[in-house]
Amino acid sequence: MSLMQHSASISSSSSAFLGESNIFSRTSKVSLPSNKSGLCKCVSSPPTEKTAYNTKVARNANMAKLQAGYLFPEIARRREAHILKYPDAQVISLGIGDTTEPIPKVITSAMTKRSHALSTLEGYSGYGAEQGDKQLRAAIASTFYGDLGIEEGDIFVSDGAKSDISRLQILFGSNLTMAVQDPSYPAYVDSSVIMGQTGQFQKDVEKYCNIEYMRCTWENGFFPDLSTVSRTDVIFFCSPNNPTGASATREQLMKLVQFAKDNGSIIVYDSAYAMYISDDSPRSIFEIPGAKEVAIETSSLSKFAGFTGVRLGWTVVPKELHFSDGFPVAKDFNRIVCTCFNGASNIAQAGGLACLSPEGLKAMHKVIGFYKENTEIIVDTFNSLGFSVYGGKNAPYVWVHFPGRSSWDVFSEILEKTHLVTTPGSGFGPGGEGFIRVSAFGHRGNVLEASKRFKQLYK
Ligand SMILES: Cc1ncc(COP(=O)(O)O)c(C=O)c1O
């Protein structure tokens, strides 16, 4: 049993609310037109400013295919506009999904120590291995994949799962096809568009041509009906899922691995929320027999240890995984990593190693337990109001159904009437329409206050 399978202990702690300021720094100037109903149609906006000088460099046509705003900057933009309109409102963000609790001292003191050592002749080090510190790679392998046959050499330490998703896309190139869960974390689709794997966005169906959208809704238990899914080269699959909070069962993942094997596809499995699992759902795709021949796994300390700002993640590319010509995928990924990346920060890696010490693991479970208590408060709130609520159990996200309503309408209604920021489900794909995602990352006082405001609005 890997250490991640120990259930998170439920405990509470309190801290300053750190999330509010971050969202501003992530704001983009991209503007999204919204129609009267508030439904975001996501059309790429032509340049509106008159420019003094244009270069002769043509814009990357794939960039022009992208819908104007990456979801979270767009939410930040709307939040900012709301604050301008209501300067005295106490706006609470349960939207973007950024962590808010302080990093446990056992972890930050390791980073402080490493940082101070950099000021000494003996302790100084410059570039490290692109693949990451050997000791950390070994600790990741034994902590998260202890009895699953994943070894130090299969682990590539990174500056986070999001960067690795893009590096994997570079690895795959533009001439392949991909599938995503619908709804899903937007980085899979957007990086695919940027790489040129897709056609244009089709506004009528809110989908890009050449991406297989695997519908995952409450009707199918958030697991796709694979008998209706077309073969693709790559399948992005996230469990526990952002945004629905659903985690796939062992039987479902066995079906997915068999599906990939039958089709000769590669699964990119995103386990960024694996430590939030409290039932017996697999924490890693490699718990499924045969997965090493068809899967890559990417993960991160962002949501396990509050490392969203520190930046540390990893990707597992098993040596058993090969391209159609027999070439090992890990060898090409190694080449990509050595070309696009110079290794994760040595200070962050020292923090990562401390996370995986016995005290570090205990501390991480405590913070995760705190967020899970927040999740319960949010789930209870919406249940008491009679909503159909999904997720929450194995993930820090609660997925709330507003049947027949537009997600952006509900998002706007909640923001306007309660000063609460949520995330519109349709921002994660057409399958998210009619839902909002409420994040459990927040200071306890803010979550309780949010619960009160939701109750006032929907009583
Ligand atoms: C499913 C999923 N994968 C990856 C990431 C990005 O993680 P990181 O901070 O390691 O880049 C997130 C962040 O919210 C996420 O929700």
Q: What pLDDT is recorded for position 97?
A: 87
Q: How confident is the model at residue 117 (pLDDT cuts 50, 70, 90)?
A: very high
Contacts 24+ apart (CB under 8 A), 54-58: none
Mean pLDDT throughout 59-84?
88
5-9, 76-80, 127-131, 314-318: which range is least confident on average? 5-9
CA distances from 76 to 93, 183, 450 (A): 10, 20, 18
Tell me, in angstroms, the distance from the centre of ligand 1 to residue 319's CA.
24
Look at residue 21 and tell me whether its pLDDT is greater than 50.
no
Q: Could you tell me the two tokens for 261?
A: 């094997």
- Going from the N-terminus, what domains does the chain have, and what CATH number goes with each? 1-44 (no CATH), 68-101+361-458 (3.90.1150.10), 105-357 (3.40.640.10)
**38 has pLDDT over 50:** no
Task: Quote the pLDDT of residue 51.
Answer: 87
Contacts of 211 (CB under 8 A, 6+ apart): 177, 178, 179, 180, 189, 192, 197, 198
Closest CA to 189 of 213, 218, 223: 213
Q: Does residue 127 have a pLDDT over 70? A: yes
Least reliable range by pLDDT among 15-19, 105-109, 241-245, 347-351: 15-19
Instruction: Report the separation in Å between the CA atom of 268 and the middle of ligand 1, taken as the mean of its atom positions.
Output: 13
Candidate from 8-22, 52-66, 84-98, 118-132 with smallest mean pLDDT: 8-22
Place of tokens 């009679």: 386
**With contact defined as beta carbons under 8 Å apart, do 329 and 266 qualify?**
yes
Mutation test residue for ligand 1: of 303, 371, 423, 437, the one with most atoms within 8 Å of CB: 303
Pair 70, 84: CB distance under 8 Å: no
Residue 133 confidence (pLDDT) above 70: yes
Q: How far is the CA of 162 from the centre of ligand 1 (A)?
A: 5
Query: Rounded to the nearest whole angstrom, what is the distance from the C-alpha of residue 299 to the centroid of ligand 1?
Result: 8
pLDDT, mean of residues 174-181:
97
- Are 357 and 176 spatial neighbours (Cβ–Cβ below 8 Å)? no
User: pLDDT per residue over 221-255, tens digit each?
Assistant: 999 999 999 999 999 999 999 999 999 999 999 99
Q: Ligand 1 pocket: which of 191, 302, 310 to mutate (most atoms <8 Å of CB)?
A: 302
- Ligand 1, CB within 6 Å, residue ranges: 97, 160-162, 185, 238, 242, 270, 272, 300, 302, 308, 313
- Asked if pLDDT for residue 34 goes beyond 90, the answer is no
Q: Is the pLDDT of residue 33 over 70?
A: no
* Averaged confidence pLDDT in the chain: 90
Distance 239 CA to ligand 1 centre (A): 12
Cα dihedral 219, 392, 441, 101 sign: negative
**Is residue 151 pLDDT above 50, yes or no?**
yes
**Alpha carbons 208 and 193: distance in angstroms, whole number:** 8
Nearest to 94 by CA among 456, 399, 455, 426: 399
What is the CA(199)–ligand 1 centre distance, in A? 25
Q: In the structure encoding, which two tokens stand for residue 40, read together?
A: 């975001």
> What tokens does 299 get?
């993960």
Count, residues in the chain: 459
Ligand 1 centre from 161 Cα, in Å? 5
**Which residue from 162, 164, 247, 441 has its CB within 8 A of the most atoms of ligand 1, so it is best to mutate?**
162
CB distance 366 to 326 below 8 Å: no
- The pLDDT > 70 percentage for the chain reads 89
User: Residue 22 — pLDDT band, cuts 50, 70, 90?
Assistant: very low
Q: Which atom of ligand 1 is nearest to the CA of 302?
A: 9
| 29 in Cβ contact with 17 (< 8 Å) | no
Q: Is the pTM of this model over 0.95?
A: no
Mean predicted confidence (pLDDT) in 3-11: 35
160: closest CA among 301, 268, 335?
301
| DSSP letters spanning 220-266 | GTTS--GGGPPP-SEEEEESS-TTT-----HHHHHHHHHHHHHHT-E
- For residue 136, give the amino acid letter: L
Residue 96: per-residue pLDDT: 81
Q: Which residues pair with 179 in a beta bridge?
A: 212, 235
Helical residues (DSSP H) of 118-247, grouped into ranges: 134-145, 161-172, 187-195
Q: Is the dihedral of CA 239, 430, 231, 180 positive or negative?
A: negative
Q: How far apart are CA 234 and CA 380, in angstroms?
A: 38
Ligand 1 atom nearest 300 alpha carbon: 10
Nearest CA among 17, 341, 314, 279 for reference residue 143: 314
Take atom 10 of ligand 1 and give the residue whose Cα is closest: 160
Half-sphere exposure of 4 (CA within 13 A, CB side): 28
Question: Looking at ligand 1, which atom is closest to the CA of residue 238?
Answer: 1
Query: What pLDDT does residue 10 have?
Result: 26
pLDDT, tens only, 79-112: 999 999 999 999 999 988 899 999 999 999 999 9
For residue 164, report the distance from its CA to the centre of ligand 1, in Å. Answer: 10
Distance between CA atoms of residues 277 and 273, nearest Å: 8
Helix (H) or strand (E) holding 79: helix 71-85
Whether 69 shows a pLDDT value over 50: the answer reads: yes
The pLDDT, as a whole number, for residue 95 is 81
pLDDT at 408 over 80: yes
Tell me how far apart the alpha carbons of residues 84 and 64 are, in angstroms, rounded to a whole number.
30
Confidence of residue 68 (pLDDT cuts 50, 70, 90): low
Nearest residue (by CA) to ligand 1, atom 3, is 272
CA of 198 to the centre of ligand 1 (A): 22
* Cβ-based neighbour number of residue 341 at 10 Å: 18
